[in-house]
A and B are shown apart, each in its own frame.
Chain A
């Protein structure tokens, strides 16, 4: 949340000399004092005001300020296989609801393929009247729509037993991002091939080295699902499935198959590895829930959050994100005392179905300890639970779909840490 110069990870940042430093600072090593320009006294006209800056098209495709180098995706721990790993979105550094495409979280199972769109093909077959092979140019000709939707990995927020006190919000909640997606409705393509009445499930398959595959039930496929070729106004990034991906709103991210090459309509699920041995939720009795698709209502405070350092007593704006796979967010409650009392946060418009919603609440920190929490409510009346409610029902080994209330602990020193 703070304005940061290149200085490594959150928590070891320096501040831009003379710039408007954020109220919430990175922690450690006296960062608040380091590199800080004079806050009092006469202003000096800086060098950049006394010369010409860079010319146009330098570079042709713009990149963030060199002072933003610390902002980036990163894995929670060093992965054994870098091509079968995930990185989180730096939610602590972002504003509003749109995730910049280059900061969208990653989860790959065989790396990011370098696909030539001229050679890419989408096959649609199975229980259809007219099996088709489509080029990217073919797909671009179909009627298109754009949608603002979040994607969340069902493995996001592994806080079943609490996690690490050192985790930042990028590490607890970074496997969620939100984009404007543009493409063709899956239903449009199914109309084109002529879905047969026996069709109940659709296998979606990627062109990556994992040939990632999931079975999509027809009701999910027909619920506004998109075959997307664009994200935030430009063609998909390679990490997000270039040139073509499935996007299923409100559904666990693994099913929104990237690098989509094939859709096969069947009369039953295909029982792929990803929907049997993975992405199933193990219960205390040893049974596992299968086809647990929807991402239930959830929220998190992104500022102040883990790794932040409150520098001074006084006014802070508590900021965060809320979302629900079942529709719109209708309310977000915020507590600064660990859930003893709650206040209603302001929701930033637009509040859209199955999209991130930004919430804010003014707060005065008196300098004492605080436990910051947020609680989302969606249009079905579902209220985000506390962790213990989830554990009571599901135990601690179900791995996926954790949506419990997040707690950030504020010390009297101003240090903020994960209290799960």
Chain B
């Protein structure tokens, strides 16, 4: 809607001459600007479990190893064994023990989540600074550290969602309230 028309309709609405719904084609109240995909592309970064949202590009375990050493290892350890920040690798078979170790390999249900998270929030000191190729590469390396892709793997929008995650079916829905009620004395 042209700004002048929007102002006119707003004035008419204030005067009670038209109902708000008369703003019609631009929505119930007609507030805001209709967004094109180009407008919002820089914000529209989410990647779903089925791979929707993954950008073009590709990255290898070897490339990821180099990048990981330079930008991730200081906090996560050179093999993802953890340090100041979370453990990323290992922990297989520990979830039902007294000391569970929740890592990408032992716990995360989707490889796509790894791409999404690195892409939006890592590296910690410079979030959203990596290229798509670099995010594929570092994702590939972390998956390699967990034994989930071979050392010569290269990942892209087709192959990343197909990485089989060991704990894919490890999640249940919320059964609460789950504690039997006590009688109040």
Residues of chain A touching chain B, judged by Cβ–Cβ distance below 8 Å, are 80-81, 84, 109-110, 123, 125, 130-135, 138, 141-142, 191-194, 203, 205, 209-211, 213, 261-262, 264, 266, 268, 270-273, 276-277, 280, 282-294, 296, 333, 341-342, 375, 377, 381-383, 385-386, 389-390, 393-394, 397, 401
Contact = CB atoms under 8 A, between A and B. Distances in A.
Nearest to A344: B184
B110 A276 contact: yes
9 contacts: A84-B124, A133-B40, A141-B31, A262-B43, A271-B49, A276-B109, A280-B171, A288-B172, A289-B172
Given A277-B113, A286-B170, A389-B182, A264 B27 contact: no
A209 B176 contact: no
A340 to B, nearest CB: 9
A282 B102 contact: yes
A224 B46 CA distance: 26
Interface string B28-66: 110111110001100111101100000000000000000
B40 A131 contact: yes
Interface stretch (B114-122, B133-141, B146-154): B114-122
Interface of B: 26-29, 31-35, 39-40, 43-46, 48-49, 84-85, 95-96, 98, 100, 102, 104, 107-110, 112-113, 116-117, 120-121, 124, 127-128, 170-182, 184-185
Contact of B46 (A192, A193, A213, A342): A213
A213 B172 CA distance: 21
B179 to A, nearest CB: 5
B32 A133 contact: yes
Contact of B96 (A80, A123, A125, A286): A286
A120 to B, nearest CB: 12
Contacts of B180: 389
B179 A277 contact: no
Most chain-A Cβ atoms within 10 A of its Cβ — which of B96, B124, B179?
Answer: B179
Most chain-B Cβ atoms within 10 A of its Cβ — which of A142, A271, A296, A333?
Answer: A271
B117 A272 contact: yes
Contacts of A133: 32-35, 39-40
Contacts of B107: 277, 288
Contacts of B124: 81, 84, 110
Most chain-B Cβ atoms within 10 A of its Cβ — which of A270, A291, A386, A389?
Answer: A270
What 4 pairs between A and B have smallest CB-CB spacing?
A: A286-B96, A286-B95, A211-B120, A273-B117
A125 B77 CA distance: 39
A132 B31 CA distance: 9
Contacts of B117: 272-273
Contacts of A271: 48-49, 109-110, 112-113
Contact of A123 (B35, B128, B176, B185): B35
Given A138-B32, A211-B127, 11 more contacts: A123-B40, A133-B40, A141-B31, A205-B43, A209-B127, A286-B170, A289-B172, A342-B185, A385-B182, A390-B179, A401-B176
A57 to B, nearest CB: 36
Given A211-B127, A273-B113, A138 B176 contact: no
Contacts of B98: 397
B43 A261 contact: yes
Contacts of B108: 276-277
B176 A211 contact: no
Given A131-B40, A192-B29, A192-B32, A210 B120 contact: yes
A194 B32 CA distance: 13
A365 to B, nearest CB: 23
Given A264-B46, A288-B170, A290-B173, A192 B31 contact: yes
A283 B170 CA distance: 10
Contact of B179 (A132, A194, A293, A393): A393
Contacts of A123: 35, 40, 43-44
A192 B35 CA distance: 13
Contacts of B34: 130-133
A51 B67 CA distance: 67
B181 A383 contact: yes
A353 B110 CA distance: 37
A163 B173 CA distance: 28
A268 B121 CA distance: 22
Contact of A132 (B33, B170, B173): B33
Contact of A289 (B96, B113, B174): B174
A209 to B, nearest CB: 4
